[in-house]
Structure 1
Amino acid sequence: MNLTDEEKVELLRIARNSITNAVNGKELPEVEPLTENLRTPCGAFVTITINDTLRGCIGYVEAVKSLAETVNEVAAKSALEDPRFPPVEPYELDKIEIEISVLSPLKLVKSVDEIKVGEHGIMIRKGWRRGLLLPQVAVEHNLTKEEFLEHTCLKAGLHPDCWKDKDVEIYVFTAIVFKESDFKQKIEEGL
């Protein structure tokens, strides 16, 4: 999928409206996907930061709803339901930065040699446990491939070397990643 700048701005607007409503105790806004891309079922994550510090991140790995509906739902969940953080408060709304990651379908890899750090995100599954890290995490934290795998195992609640176990499934995916600061002027102009 290739998203236009206008589609990215629309998704950021949807996420901002969703978060604002959720934090203020209102219902999620209705979304009307305006383009074919926004109507396409797709996995996505919404990441919330304040001063480059993570404040919430939740998403759907697999395509369960249209991209627009997915962003609408996971944005609210990122603000209120990430178990690692208290819910975002109304006074924080002006401080948050929203980043959206639109995911490609998952691809099972046969070897970790197929993983390209900086290009791929990873999902590790063992039994009912699973952990996922977005592609930008490896870059932002300057992780090696092995460290990226270890952190994904830990995210799943498993030992860091579990990626070497024979019964572990490793999936890769790519993501289109964009944030509000990328489109500050267009957002301010209401485009």
Structure 2
Amino acid sequence: MTEIQKQKLLRIARETLECFLSGRKLAALVNDDPVFQERRGVFVTLKKKDELRGCIGYIEGVGPLAEAVRKTSIQSATEDSRFPSVEYSELEDITIEISVLTPLKRVEDAGDIQLGRDGVIIKKGYRTGVFLPQVADETGWTKDEFLSNLCMYKAGLPADAWQDKETEIYIFQADVFSE
């Protein structure tokens, strides 16, 4: 994505939150850029003074990228069960980060995962967990710690489930940008 496209998506996210949280009507999106019509996985992360305040997204595209950014911006502010809903008065202290994802690639060996580059999805049965690529850099975990925490805290699986042959591991990359 170009810098202009990134800035436009950040502006869409910011304006969406300002309108939604203040009770104003959302303006129609002008999708004049073909990139904004692509179906891509996307996450919107909200941070308040560098602390996580909300993060929700889609691993795979559910609609045009610009609309997905709008939808996940609202969901990150209001539906992340780890936090109370963001109030309009908090917006001046909120920084928006957007992660636009590549398609998923299944890997058979955890050795194929490159921390800091790859986001990881763990699936076993009906349980699934995901860490975005930047989680590795933010936590400083080793690969074993990264995968164990993903299993336990995101997928609700035993810490060593990533070593089980029945567990599916997928990787993806993300174009991450913020205000």
TM-score (norm 2): 0.95
2:171 maps to: 172
Aligned-residue sequence identity (percent) comes to: 48
Count of matched residue pairs: 178
1:163 maps to: 162
Q: Provide structure 1 residue ranges, at least 5 long, that are not aligned to the other structure.
A: 181-191
Matches within 5 A, 1:33-112: 33-112=31-110
Q: CA deviation at 1:28?
A: 4.3
2:138 maps to: 140
CA 26–80 in structure 1, closer or farther in 2 if over 3 Å, else same? farther
Matched, 1:125 2:119: no
Q: For 1:78, what is the secondary structure of its paired residue? A: helix
Instruction: Give the letter for the 1:123 counterpart.
Output: I
Whole-angstrom CA distance in 2 between matches of 1:157 and 1:21: 36
CA RMSD after TM alignment: 1.1
Runs of 4+ in 1 over 6 A off after TM superposition: none
Q: CA deviation at 1:27?
A: 4.8
2:113 maps to: 115
Whole-angstrom CA distance in 2 between matches of 1:114 and 1:166: 15
Q: Provide structure 2 residue ranges, at least 5 long, that are not aligned to the other structure.
A: none
Whole-angstrom CA distance in 2 between matches of 1:58 and 1:30: 22
Q: CA deviation at 1:26?
A: 4.2
**1:100-153 deviation per Cα after TM superposition (whole angstroms, max 9, x unaligned):** 000001111011011000100001111111110000010011111111111211
Whole-angstrom CA distance in 2 between matches of 1:157 and 1:26: 39
TM-score (norm 1): 0.90
Instruction: Give the letter for the 1:127 counterpart.
Output: G
